[in-house]
């Protein structure tokens, strides 16, 4: 059923009895053209673009839990394309452009909201580093503005400008950055893919690969074996575990990233702001909760939960930046498992095992990448060639040295 104000009103008059399931609940078939492992944002987006852009519809998306149960439903909802390196910037800008047309493409309101992303700087060196980045963005056709202290103050007068340990000197603003409603992104892609015939199969855990002559020809699942011409992995957080079933080791560690939401409040802050002298970023959801986070805990973890040192570090940074938050209460905190890659950038590539395609290593930047990740992964799966903006995301770049290390911290995932 197509969504519109009219369909909503029509249904309202009928007591909403006419709405039908947003997606089917099919049993797995014996064979598909493409099996996508992972019913999160990236997997669902891949299915949508394979179906809508490449006409491939004999697709199953296998999800071990419920659709959107991974990081697409656990993140802090930020979208931006303020990247420094040429391997990254065009990819995230494609993502931003897809965000800008997402709702009309999906006929689903994912509340894409471009209220701006502002990264604060607190020293001359940081300013110059942001200038370098802002200039790189402009060269790639991305909007970027370098603000001085007074411009930041005009946008956010409530920050600590007068008694700060690391005084705010200014910020790098991407006005087109913002947020989107994370669950709705998963649901919108799921609904759109389902409507084109993609089978979304929940509670279906992949337990192994069926190999013939070194080629992956199917998957073993908790709901039986499924054959596939192509198998695509989009299981960030658990990439190493699934890859291990195919005998692969990846340049990835799984780490926990915590996120926080405050009680619902009347509007306090418009866009997204990141603190440059500590680990803290914040935005406010349409429901009124401040959504915020900080650094990863820093140790390998699959537990989807973190510990107090990072929680306190985030709150300290929050108070250092915005001392008016003292009496605002943190309502919930949780953790997601991040595929932390060895250079901080993702992988979209064929796997060394024939028949297998890899979409992994999103670190804590996977949500904003969702549309382009699906778009480019679909392109790779359908055409066999990498999409031009994702061409740098090769798996062999680690061995070859063509790294995409935005932070310059090297092969230590917990520093990215």
Partner 1 sequence: MSAQPFRLASGGLIDRSQALSFRFDGKSYGGHAGDTLASALLANGVRLVGRSFKYHRPRGILSAGPEEPNALVELRSGARREPNTRATVAELFDGLEAVSQNRWPSLAFDLLSLNGLFSPALVAGFYYKTFMWPASFWEKLYEPLIRRAAGLGRAAGAEDPDHYEKAFAFCDLLVIGGGPAGLAAALAAGRTGARVILCDEDFRLGGRLLAEKREIDGRPVAEWLAAALAELESLPDVRLMPRTTVFGLYDHGTYGAVERVSDHLPQPQPHQPRQRAWRIQAKRAILAAGALERPIVFPGNDTPGVMLAGAARTYANRYGVLPGRETVLFTAGDDGWATARDIAAAGGKVAAIVDARADADPARKALADRLGARLFAGGVVERARGGRQLDQVTIRDASGATHALACDLLAVSNGWNPTLHLTSHQNGKPVWDEEIHCFVPGTLPAGLAVAGSAAGRFTLATALEDGARLAREALGDLGLSVAAAGPVPAADDEPCGLKPLWRVTGGKGPVFPGKAFVDFQNDVTDADVELAAREGFRPVEHLKRYTTLGMATDQGKTSNLSGLAIMAEQTGRTIPQAGTTTFRPPYTPVAIGALGGHHRGKAFRPVRLAPTHGWSSEQGAVFVETGQWLRAQYYPKPGETDWLATVNREVLAVRETVGICDVSTLGKIDIQGADAAAFLERVYINGWKALPVGKARYGLMLREDGFVMDDGTTSRLGEHHFLMTTTTANAGKVMQHLEFCHQVLWPDLDVGMVSVSEQWAQVTVAGPKARKTLRGVVDPEHDLSNEAFPYLAARAVTVGGGIPARLFRISFSGELAYELAVPAGYGDAMMRALMQAGAPFGITPYGTEALGVLRIEKGHVAGNELSGQTTARDLGLGKMMSSKKDYVGRLMANRAALNEPERPSFVGFKPVDRRERLRAGAHFIGVGKAATMANDEGYMTSVAHSPHLNHWIGLGLIRGGSARIGEQVRAYDPVRGGDILVEICSPVFLDPEGARLHG
Partner 2 sequence: MRITCPYCGARDAQEFSYLGAADPVRPDGMAAAEAAMADYVYLRDNPAGPHRELWYHGSGCRSWLIVTRDTRTHAISAVEPAKVRKAGEAA
Q: What is the C-alpha separation between 186 and 52, in angstroms, rounded?
A: 16
> Which of 200, 237, 242 has the alpha carbon at shortest distance from 57?
200
**Under rule CB under 8 A, which residues in 335-394 are in contact with partner 1?**
none
Q: What is the C-alpha separation between 262 and 292, in angstroms, rounded?
A: 8
Helices (H), 176-224: 182-195
- Among 5, 6, 13, 399, indicate the residue that binds partner 2 (CB under 8 A): 399
Residue 53 phi, psi dihedral angles, 5° rounding: -105, -25
Supply the minimum distance, in Å, between the C-beta of residue 343 and partner 2.
9
**Under rule CB under 8 A, which residues in 25-84 are in contact with partner 1?**
25, 65-69, 73
* Rg of the Cα atoms in the chain: 21
**Under rule CB under 8 A, which residues in 283-302 are in contact with partner 2?**
298-302
Residue 155 interacts with partner 1 (CB under 8 A): yes or no? no
Letters for 240-279 (x = contact with partner 1 by CB under 8 A, - = none) are ----------------------xxxxxxx--------xx-
Residue 7 interacts with partner 2 (CB under 8 A): yes or no? no
> Which of 43, 90, 76 has the alpha carbon at shortest distance from 392?
90
Residue 328 interacts with partner 2 (CB under 8 A): yes or no? no
Q: Name the binder of 112 from partner 2, partner 1, none, CB < 5-8 A by kind.
A: partner 1
**Under rule CB under 8 A, which residues in 330-349 are in contact with partner 2?**
342
Supply the minimum distance, in Å, between the C-beta of residue 305 and partner 2.
9
**Under rule CB under 8 A, which residues in 236-255 are in contact with partner 2?**
238, 240-241, 244, 249-254
- Among 58, 115, 227, 279, indicate the residue that binds partner 1 (CB under 8 A): 115
Residue with Cβ nearer partner 2 (225 or 298): 298
Number of C-alpha atoms within 13 angstroms, CB side, residue 249?
3
Spacing of C-alpha 37 from chain mean position: 16
Residue pair 234/43 in contact by the 8 Å Cβ criterion: yes
Residue 392 phi, psi dihedral angles, 5° rounding: -80, -10
Residue 413 interacts with partner 2 (CB under 8 A): yes or no? yes
Residue with Cβ nearer partner 1 (150 or 312): 312
Residue 352 interacts with partner 2 (CB under 8 A): yes or no? no
The span of 105-113, 134-142, 303-311, 325-333 binding partner 2 (CB under 8 A) equals: 303-311
How many residues are recorded in the chain?
416
User: Tokens representing 271?
Assistant: 């866009």
Q: Name the binder of 207 from partner 2, partner 1, none, CB < 5-8 A by kind.
A: none
Residue 114 interacts with partner 1 (CB under 8 A): yes or no? yes
Other Cβ atoms within 10 Å of 201 Cβ, number: 22
Tokens 């005084």 locate to: 167
Which element (helix H / strand E) includes 7? helix 5-13
DSSP state of 411: S
Residue 15 interacts with partner 1 (CB under 8 A): yes or no? yes
Residue with Cβ nearer partner 1 (108 or 364): 108
Spacing of C-alpha 154 from chain mean position: 30
Binding interface with partner 2 (CB under 8 A): 238, 240-241, 244, 249-254, 298-303, 307, 309, 342, 398-399, 411-414
């Amino acid at each position: 059923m197509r969504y519109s104000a009219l369909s909503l009103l029509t249904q309202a008059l009928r007591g909403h009895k006419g709405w039908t399931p947003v997606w089917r609940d099919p049993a797995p078939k014996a064979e598909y053209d493409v099996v996508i492992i992972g019913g999160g944002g990236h997997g669902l987006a891949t299915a949508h673009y394979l179906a809508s852009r490449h006409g491939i519809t004999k697709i199953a998306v296998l999800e071990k839990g419920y659709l959107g149960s991974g990081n697409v439903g656990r993140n802090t909802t930020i979208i931006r394309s303020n990247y420094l390196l040429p391997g990254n910037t065009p990819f995230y800008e494609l993502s931003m452009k897809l965000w800008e047309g997402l709702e009309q493409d999906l006929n689903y309101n994912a509340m894409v909201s471009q209220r701006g992303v502002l990264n604060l700087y607190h020293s001359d060196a940081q300013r110059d580093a942001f200038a370098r980045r802002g200039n790189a963005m402009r060269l790639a056709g991305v909007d970027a503005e370098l603000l001085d202290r007074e411009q930041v103050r005009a946008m956010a007068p409530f920050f600590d400008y007068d008694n700060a340990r690391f005084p705010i000197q200014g910020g790098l603003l991407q006005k087109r950055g913002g947020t989107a409603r994370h669950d709705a992104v998963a649901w919108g892609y799921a609904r759109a893919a389902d409507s084109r015939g993609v089978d979304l199969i929940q509670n279906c855990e992949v337990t192994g690969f069926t190999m013939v002559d070194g080629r992956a020809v199917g998957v073993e699942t908790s709901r039986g074996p499924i054959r596939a011409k192509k198998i695509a992995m989009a299981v960030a957080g658990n990439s190493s575990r699934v890859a291990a079933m195919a005998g692969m080791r990846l340049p990835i560690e799984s780490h926990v990233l915590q996120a926080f939401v405050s009680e619902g409040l009347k509007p306090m802050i418009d866009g997204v702001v990141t603190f440059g002298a500590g680990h803290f970023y914040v935005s406010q959801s349409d429901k009124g909760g401040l959504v915020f986070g900080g650094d990863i805990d820093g140790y390998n973890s699959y537990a989807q939960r973190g510990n107090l040192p990072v929680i306190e570090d985030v709150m300290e940074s929050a108070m250092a930046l915005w001392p008016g938050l003292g009496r605002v209460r943190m309502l919930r905190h949780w953790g997601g498992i991040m595929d932390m890659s060895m250079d901080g950038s993702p992988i979209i590539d064929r796997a060394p095992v024939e028949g297998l395609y890899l979409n992994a290593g999103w670190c804590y930047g996977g949500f904003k990448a969702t549309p382009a990740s699906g778009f480019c992964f679909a392109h790779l799966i359908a055409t066999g060639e990498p999409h031009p903006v994702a061409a740098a995301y090769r798996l062999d770049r680690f061995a070859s040295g063509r790294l995409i290390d935005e932070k310059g911290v090297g092969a230590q995932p917990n520093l990215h």
